[in-house]
Amino acid sequence: MSVKLNTKYLRSFVRPHELDGLAPLVAAAHQQVHQKSGLGNDFLGWVDLPFSYDKEEFARIKAAAEKIKNQSQALIVIGIGGSYLGARAAIEYIKSNNYNALKKDTPNIYFVGNTISPAYLNDILSLVDGVDFSVNVISKSGTTTEPALAFRVFKELLEQRYGVEGAKERIYATTDKARGTLKELSDKNGYETFVIPDDVGGRFSVLTAVGLLPMAVAGCDLEAVMAGAQDSAKAAEDPDLDKNDCYRYAAIRNLLYNKGYSVEVLAAYEPSFREMCEWFKQLYGESEGKDNKGLFPASVIFSTDLHSMGQYIQDGRRQLFETVIDLQQPKSDFFIKEDASNFDGLNFLAGQNMSSVNKMAMQGTILAHVKGGVPNVVLELEKMDDYSFGYLVYFFEKACAISGYLLGVNPFDQPGVEGYKNNMFALLGKPGYEELRAEIDKELAE
Ligand SMILES: O=P(O)(O)OC[C@H]1O[C@](O)(CO)[C@@H](O)[C@@H]1O
């Protein structure tokens, strides 16, 4: 088991009978997921995905990754939200947050289309100047503005460099199996395509081609990722709260939310976990933040952020709880040496491993924060590798679905995202948005 829930630091915040009281509701949420009887039940394809994924496509993903590795020194991954965060989280978690800068025999991976910043785009363009590259454009709808704008740019650059025929050999599209502009264009131009299944929403799609192709290019072990997800799915099958850490985590989130803790801070002590936190925030933010309800998902990387956000968490308004990732085996370690002059007074640490210092920072922080009135949920993570990535992804996805149903929302839609898009289109003069533009103009003139 790669992930184990430790509730030791919750004793002063949650009494055991409170969890017992939630058990029937958790059992009902379990039925909603497994019998597909809850809100948003068209989007439960991720539940069995670790077992039922398309094996033929899986082999094609690995073959495409080999072709990309042979042809290119860089892969441009174009996507936003669920079509971006999972792949980035995986590469940093499994490989390193310094993946691009490290010596390796796999291509650099640059993520674009996740912002409308021209400065960001220009930087990436300069990074591929004179570098052979391929493109993986990812969009379920095929119409999202940010990735569509970026794709225009990199498609044109590929066509200029390698000709239309050459570009075709370097563009891979991950999108809907039949619908959308990207699918139409890919079929017309002959790009290799991969499918985002109809019943898998963007933020639940990291274990489809959305995440798997960039991961394979970065040299991640896809079999191990899927094996981790399978074991996680099996461990989260039993509706009995005592036997299911994933469901207990979901139930605890709900209990704490109902006690007035409105912010969940995911805290990790490894910089390579930072993008995993970003993935987590989209997963929970889009799934639960609706109908004027939901925990606000936040994140910190300690000890870095103990020197910025630490003050607030220890001492600020008491509306937070923390979910702490307690990594059991560091990816690598560093031995602290004795210094003859002891100029910094740190010789008391000589002979210790850096991971022990990190661990004591974690232990000390948990004790201090709990004393300061911050409930701490601890998730013990065995190691950070391919297997545990798959395990953790599934753990958080399943907990998110159960948590959303406990909250009484549809965990699988995101109607709130349309607000900014409509206003932006109206302001930019997109045809069809004239009425909204008139309303906005009036509002701005007041
Ligand atoms: O894959 P697409 O359709 O480009 O969507 C990207 C992201 O945009 C959203 O639809 C929100 O706008 C997310 O839910 C999704 O992950």
Structure confidence by residue, pLDDT tens digits, 223-272: 999 999 999 999 999 999 999 999 999 999 999 999 999 999 999 999 99
How far does the centroid of ligand 1 lie from the alpha carbon of residue 357, in Å?
Answer: 40
Which pLDDT score, from 0 to 100, does residue 423 have? 93
CB count within 10 Å of CB 111 equals: 22
Distance between CA atoms of 6 and 102, rounded to whole angstroms? 35
Nearest-CA residue for ligand 1 atom 13 is 81
Q: Judge contact between 219 and 225, C-beta under 8 A.
A: no
Distance between CA atoms of 60 and 8, rounded to whole angstroms? 45
Cis status of the peptide bond prior to 303, with omega within 30 of 0: yes
Which pLDDT score, from 0 to 100, does residue 181 have? 93
Closest ligand 1 atom, residue 196 Cα = 1
Low-confidence ranges of the chain (pLDDT < 70): none
Catalytic residues: 286, 421
Q: Which residues line ligand 1 (CB under 6 A)?
A: 80-83, 139-141, 144, 147, 202-203, 286, 414, 417
Which pLDDT score, from 0 to 100, does residue 1 have? 73
Q: Judge contact between 406 and 29, C-beta under 8 A.
A: yes
109: β partners: 75
Burial 51-78 (b: 16+ CB within 10 A, else e): eebeeebbebbeebbeebbebbebbbbb
How far does the centroid of ligand 1 lie from the alpha carbon of residue 81, in Å?
Answer: 5
Pocket test for ligand 1, best of 111, 138, 140 (most atoms within 8 A of CB): 140
Contacts of 316 (CB under 8 A, 6+ apart): none
pLDDT tens per residue, range 356-377: 999 999 999 999 999 999 999 9
Nearest-CA residue for ligand 1 atom 11 is 417
All structural domains of the chain, each given as residue ranges with its CATH number in brackets, are: 3-37+226-407 (3.40.50.10490), 49-221 (3.40.50.10490)
Pocket test for ligand 1, best of 46, 77, 80 (most atoms within 8 A of CB): 80
Distance between CA atoms of 140 and 174, rounded to whole angstroms? 7
Distances in Å between the alpha carbon of 178 and those of 56, 83, 149, 170, 366? 18, 17, 21, 21, 50
ipTM of predicted assembly, 2 dp? 0.98
386-407 and 274-288 are packed helices; what angle lies between their axes, rounded to 10 degrees? Answer: 20
Which pLDDT score, from 0 to 100, does residue 2 have? 86
Which pLDDT score, from 0 to 100, does residue 56 have? 98
Instruction: Say what the pTM is.
Output: 0.97
Nearest-CA residue for ligand 1 atom 14 is 202
Pocket test for ligand 1, best of 182, 414, 423 (most atoms within 8 A of CB): 414
Strand order from edge to edge, sheet including 3-6: 3-6, 376-383, 320-329, 263-268, 296-301
Distance between CA atoms of 141 and 205, rounded to whole angstroms? 13
Q: Judge contact between 85 and 278, C-beta under 8 A.
A: yes
Which pLDDT score, from 0 to 100, does residue 432 have? 94
Of 299, 298, 255, 376, which Cα lies nearest the Cα of 6?
A: 376
Q: What are the phi and psi torsion angles at 399 (to 5°)?
A: -60, -35
